[in-house]
Structure 1
Amino acid sequence: MTHLLTLFFATFSAAFMATVFPGLLNMNAAKTSVEKGKTAGIMFCVGVAMTIMVQAYVGVLISKYLFRNPGVIVSLQKAALIVFAFFALFFFMKAKKNKEKPLTLTPISKKNSFFKGVLLAALNFLTIPYYSALNVMWNSSGWIQFAFWDIAIFVFAAGCGSFTMLYLYTVYFNKLEARNNAFSRNSNYVLSLLMLILLVITLIRIYYT
């Protein structure tokens, strides 16, 4: 029982820290909350968290295979290059198009926000290698075994940690009402820049590591 608690808090912390810095998911969580309302932002976070739980489970199942075959990780990174390049251009064009538009709250269903979170989280190809690496580290530390409850706790903690940080992003930006308009106008530029940074970092990882 003790090792399960240790496993939960260790994995929760790792997932929480993985979403601390501004990125595609947390910036979209904040953007959804600002433009569509807090409820839509929370549903986006739920969609992301559930997808991350699935990715964490896949990471557990294929962790040994991934780290015995480095070429698989390189392939994932190359696929991520295409995704980052696409979203960098997408958010830049969207920012140019919406630059002069005033901020208005657009009615949107909870389902749409949920599936938007699912889609964007699914496009993050580096999540599976990340949780595979965590699984390897926790296993070497004796915090996790390939038993049902160990895997269940690992997956659940990954989802909880991710959701908590994303929720803080939605609340934090939703409370800054005086700055919401400026954030909404500039968020697409910020997201485009972040995608370019991730693109460069991934290129460095592929060709210089």
Structure 2
Amino acid sequence: MEVEGIILLLYGFMAAVLGVSLPGLLNMTAVKISQEYGYNDAFKYICGALSVIFIQTFIAIFFSRLIESSPAITEALHEIGLAIFSVLTIYFFFFAKRKEKRKHQGDIPKRQTPFLQGILLASINVFSIPFYVFLSITLATYDYHIFDQIYTILFSLGVVMGSALMFYMYIYFFKKITREDAFILKNINYIIGSITAIISLITVYKLLR
């Protein structure tokens, strides 16, 4: 495997860790299934969700390849991305509040196939697609060949690996310790705010260069 392939695999991994780090539909459902029905059902659910996440990442890169062919659209997306990440930075540092874990998140039908449930929930969770579109275009502007099929696959695999890690981390943390005691969850607003601030600075440098 070439160095660029490994780098894109790691970028996909880190992007997924960032994207799945906040409490959301997919990771909290994984925790609920694990606690109510055990690790075996949670594993099946995660496999279903990861299969859709891989496809969604592939679709995002496909769309980004079409958009990247237009320099005007690319520059506009950088400006929009800067605005979004700047707002997120302000939000996470100054306005976001830690909330207690909701006790009632809806019952999971006992006889529902966990694998199918993972597919269905991941399919309606389409918010990650714009994120990977923007990230793919950003990587392409830094001369990474992410649009080559092999690199697209490696990046998508990295996303799957990062997502899987975070799912299992959520299961582990909620199984072993309370949410208030978990350092990552306790300080997640400041962690995400720092990351978005760094991305904003990089985007400003890219626009002014």
For the aligned pair, the TM-score class normalised by the smaller chain equals: 0.5 to 0.7
Match of 1:172, SS state, is helix
* 2:117 corresponds to: 116
In structure 1, what is the Cα distance between the partners aligned to 2:105 and 2:170? 24
The answer to whether the aligner puts 1:13 opposite 2:14 as a matched pair is: yes
Question: Structure 1 pair 130/51, CA: closer, same or farther in 2 (3 Å)?
Answer: same
Q: CA deviation at 1:15?
A: 0.6
* 2:61 corresponds to: 60
Paired amino acid for 1:61: F
Match of 1:125, SS state, is coil
Q: Output aligned runs, 1:63-74, within 5 Å.
A: 63-65=64-66, 68=73
Q: String of CA shifts for 1:145-168, please: whole Å, max 9, x gaps.
A: 321211110111111111110111
Paired amino acid for 1:5: I
Question: Structure 1 pair 51/141, CA: closer, same or farther in 2 (3 Å)?
Answer: same
Paired amino acid for 1:44: Y
Q: CA deviation at 1:39?
A: 1.2
Q: CA deviation at 1:43?
A: 1.5
In structure 2, what is the Cα distance between the partners aligned to 1:45 and 1:169? 12
Unmatched 5+ stretches in structure 2: 77-101, 179-209
RMSD of equivalent CA atoms: 3.1
Asked if 2 retains the 8 angstrom alpha-carbon contact of 1:66 and 1:129, the reply is no
Match of 1:30, SS state, is helix
Asked if 1 retains the 8 angstrom alpha-carbon contact of 2:136 and 2:146, the reply is no
Paired amino acid for 2:35: V
In structure 1, what is the Cα distance between the partners aligned to 2:67 and 2:33? 34
* 1:154 corresponds to: 155
In structure 1, what is the Cα distance between the partners aligned to 2:105 and 2:155? 42
Paired amino acid for 1:18: G
Question: Structure 1 pair 161/97, CA: closer, same or farther in 2 (3 Å)?
Answer: closer
Q: Output aligned runs, 1:50-129, within 5 Å.
A: 50-65=51-66, 68=73, 95=104, 108=111, 112-129=113-130
Q: CA deviation at 1:5?
A: 0.8
* 1:37 corresponds to: 38
Asked if 1 retains the 8 angstrom alpha-carbon contact of 2:46 and 2:164, the reply is yes
In the comparison of the two structures, how many residue pairs are matched? 149
In structure 1, what is the Cα distance between the partners aligned to 2:105 and 2:156? 39
Paired amino acid for 2:123: A
- Aligned identity (percent) is 27
* 1:77 corresponds to: none
In structure 2, what is the Cα distance between the partners aligned to 1:155 and 1:8? 8
Q: CA deviation at 1:64?
A: 4.3
